[in-house]
């Protein structure tokens, strides 16, 4: 929801950052890779009890992940870049979940359920994007939903910083993720029938 509706407020910052990174000679795919490398460290920092650093690298990764798409649109978007971007995003999320699961094993069952819901939701999202003829600003049809990447980062941040109630926060995230999945499934039925 925030990615779709609040983007217009942060797009000028992403445009300026994209312009700077393009001027220094970086490509969108290189920034995607840098974002990925930074992002996967979040799980390690969680495991090492460096929770604030874990949140900082997660959000820096997320910002660069948004900038790489802006860079691609300013130059030449590539299908391979889209694959890298979407794949690396999931690995960063898995890194956070694994860091939390290994650091707080009592919440592992809830984190496993959350992982399953993310797989389910992403399967719907990507399949609708692949079979839909609708196109948007991205290289495939982007289904808006209650939980997009920014909401996920907000929930991950809460889970990292308020780990005393990790299981509860994970179950809240699970419920929001499932709501989004079924929301997207209903929209898919409407636009594809």
* Cα distance between residue 42 and residue 55, in whole Å: 7
What pLDDT band is residue 125 in, cutting at 50, 70 and 90?
confident
pLDDT reading at 167 higher than 60 = yes
The structural domain count of the chain equals: 1
Q: Closest Cα to residue 18, out of 55, 94, 70, 89?
A: 70
Q: Report pLDDT digits (tens) over 1-22.
A: 556 656 778 888 999 999 999 9
Kindly report the backbone phi and psi dihedral angles of residue 187, in degrees, each rounded to the nearest multiple of 5, phi listed first.
-65, -40
What pLDDT band is residue 142 in, cutting at 50, 70 and 90?
low
CATH number at residue 127: 1.20.120.1760
* Cα distance between residue 140 and residue 121, in whole Å: 16
pLDDT at 127: 86
Which of 10-14, 57-61, 112-116, 188-192 has the lowest average pLDDT? 188-192
Prediction pTM value? 0.88
């Amino acid at each position: 929801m925030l990615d779709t509706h609040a983007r217009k407020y942060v797009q000028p910052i992403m445009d300026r950052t994209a312009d700077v990174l393009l001027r220094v000679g970086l490509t969108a795919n290189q920034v995607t890779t840098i974002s990925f490398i930074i992002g996967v460290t979040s799980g390690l920092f969680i495991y090492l009890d460096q929770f604030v650093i874990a949140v900082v690298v997660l959000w820096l990764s997320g910002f660069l992940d948004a900038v790489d798409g802006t860079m691609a649109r300013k130059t030449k978007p590539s299908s391979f870049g889209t694959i890298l971007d979407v794949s690396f995003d999931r690995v960063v999320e898995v890194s956070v979940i694994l860091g939390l699961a290994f650091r707080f094993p009592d919440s592992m069952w809830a984190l496993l359920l959350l992982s399953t819901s993310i797989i389910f939701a992403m399967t719907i999202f990507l399949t609708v994007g692949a079979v839909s003829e609708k196109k948007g600003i991205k290289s495939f049809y982007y289904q808006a939903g209650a939980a997009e990447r920014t909401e996920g980062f907000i929930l991950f941040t809460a889970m990292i910083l308020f780990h005393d109630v990790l299981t509860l926060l994970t179950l809240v995230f699970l419920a929001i993720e499932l709501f989004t999945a079924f929301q997207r499934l209903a929209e898919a039925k409407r636009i594809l029938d």
